[in-house]
Amino acid sequence: MTKPRALALAAAAGLVAAALAFAVITAVDGDDERGGAGQTAPAAGQASGRELFVQMGCGSCHRFADAGSTGTIGPDLDERLAGYDRASLVQTIVTPPGSGGGGFTLMPDNFGERMTPRALNALAAYLLAARRP
């Protein structure tokens, strides 16, 4: 098998795993605090940033020691978070590099729709507080 083909197969397998994880999360979670269906993040105050990391499926793609996640599809958050503050991290979660404008990203680009601003802030606060120097 050629190296590009092996990489393509690994990426495809990762996408399938991520899609299944998000499907499970969406099916398990119910209505949001406004009563609308399809909101996968709980209302702020109901979940900690760490719980949101798990519930949103972040660990299926990202390695992050504090959460015990070992994902290898996305960047290692223990290494990547050093240059972020809360606002820039929330922006990256909502609009991942490569999203929009015809780019390509493996990270879902709908977290801004699936999570409330308070939940996004809680997730970012957790990631920044728990990151390794």
Residue with tokens 């920044």: 128
Q: Do the beta carbons of residue 116 and residue 42 sit within 8 Å?
A: no
- pLDDT digits over 97-129, tens only? 888 766 778 888 899 999 999 999 999 999 999
Is the confidence at residue 29, as pLDDT, over 50?
no
pLDDT bucket at 16, cuts 50 / 70 / 90: very low
Give me the domains of the chain, ranges plus CATH numbers: 3-130 (1.10.760.10)
Is the confidence at residue 70, as pLDDT, over 70?
yes
Report the pLDDT value the prediction gives residue 109, as an integer from 0 to 100: 87
The pTM of the full predicted model, rounded to 2 decimals, is 0.65
108: Cα within 13 Å, side-chain hemisphere = 19
